[in-house]
Amino acid sequence: MDFRISDEQRQMVAMVREVSQHEFKPNAARYHDGSFPWDNLKRLGELGVTGMAVPKEYGGLGLGTLDVALVLEELAKGCYATAMMMLGELGVQTRIISSFAPESLRRRMLPKIATGEFVLAICITEPDAGSDAGAMRTNTNIDGDRAIVNGMKTMISRAEEADVFIVFTRVNNVPGGKGVGCVLVEKGAVGLSAKASFHTMGGEMLSEVRFDDVVVPEENVISREGGTKKMFTAFNMQRCLNSAICLGLAEGAFNESVRYLRDRSAFGSRIGDYQGQRWRLANMYRDIEAARGLLYRACVSGDPFPDPRQAALAKIYCNEMAVQVTDEARKIHGGYGYTDEFAVSHFFRQAPFGGSGGGTPDLLRNMVGKALIDDFDLANDFAAMNTF
């Protein structure tokens, strides 16, 4: 298996790294209060990055999951807020529109997503329904040529800035998971409101979004009741992109640690010359490289959506690796690692985001474990590991 990236991908990564490190990173602190990085969105639009996940026929670049993951990895090293913003532009929202929405919506939405004109939000979590999507209460009644949405979502990223909301909702009050569908709601719809209610430890603002008799055209119903199971395959891409940001955060903390171990002295020697610190750094490097292997393999396991089990494994490992590695980086920095003035403290606070969205590591462990028990090919064991 060869996960080496192409010359074109290297050029793309180099371009994004240059912008991320020299333009975004020096100003990253300004977004720790939850401010939205509008200037960075404009810059990435100028570079064409905002169109990476949009198919070519709609004005985008039509690139795959690995390309997008490589870009998010670089952005996360420089500015968490920018990486999270681009997760919304390059991730599941865009894939749902390009893969499942009616052609009329694709023609209207995707060109503006490609140029960075539209900010996207996805609305799944409710006060009483998180991972258990079948328990959601938000409902959409379809009445002739229109659909009427009622309910509330919470912990929603980019909601106050969003132009388009991808809303997972019960349809026609059909109970359970089979009753879940998906509706597209546009900014300015009467009865739609969004309020930033939670400031996360990573710096991002999350909102409550309310739908009070919000009327949308029937064409905005992307999936009716019973039709969402296939759409959830798009979240396998999202799990890879979530993992890419975790990988970038860990790499950013690692880079800061190498610099500190080279520059800081104690008891007459560089602290990087002490065995304990060398071992700590070696373990961090090992875990980052293991995560990279799992992630890149998952990214290339399917097109347009990666293999669900490979994506789950990558997310489990990357989520937990990022927390561990950033914590080790904080320890390397001693007391400085606990201060806002050193970047590792921010990497450490941002890393836990990964385990909160797109399926928690425990939920994904349960999914993978069930697949192993039910479907694992004992006759061919790991030689058939991509087929179970």
Residue spans of beta strands (DSSP E) within 172-307: 180-186, 192-199, 205-217, 221-223, 265-266, 269-270
- pLDDT category of residue 132 using cuts at 50, 70 and 90: confident
Q: pLDDT tens for residues 258-293?
A: 999 999 999 999 999 999 999 999 999 999 999 999
Sign of CA dihedral 262, 264, 268, 274: negative
Mean pLDDT of 242-270: 97
> Would you say residue 387 has pLDDT above 60?
no
pLDDT at 226: 64
Domain 7-114 belongs to what topology? Butyryl-Coa Dehydrogenase, subunit A; domain 1 (1.10.540)
User: Which residues face 122 on adjacent strands?
Assistant: 166
Mean pLDDT of 194-216: 96
pLDDT at 158: 96
Domain ranges, ordered by start, for the chain: 7-114, 120-223, 231-384
Which tokens sit at 209? 């979004």
Give the chain's mean pLDDT: 94
> Would you say residue 363 has pLDDT above 50?
yes
> Would you say residue 231 has pLDDT above 80?
no
120-223 in CATH: which number?
2.40.110.10
Phi, psi (rounded to 5 degrees) for 148: -120, 120
pLDDT at 382: 73
Q: pLDDT tens for residues 2-50?
A: 667 899 999 999 999 999 999 999 999 999 999 999 999 999 999 999 9
pLDDT at 383: 63
Residues across the chain: 388
- Rg (C-alpha) for the chain, rounded Å, is 21
The highest-level CATH class for domain 231-384 is mainly alpha
Stated pTM of the model: 0.95
> Would you say residue 227 has pLDDT above 70?
no
- Burial label, 129 (beta-carbon count in 10 A; 0-12, 13-18, 19+): middle
CA distances from 99 to 89, 105, 286, 339 (A): 15, 11, 37, 44
CA–CA distance, 30 with 47 (Å, rounded to integer): 22
Residue with tokens 């119903």: 221
More confident residue, 318 or 131: 318
> Would you say residue 131 has pLDDT above 90?
no
What share of the chain in percent tops pLDDT 90? Answer: 86
pLDDT at 388: 43
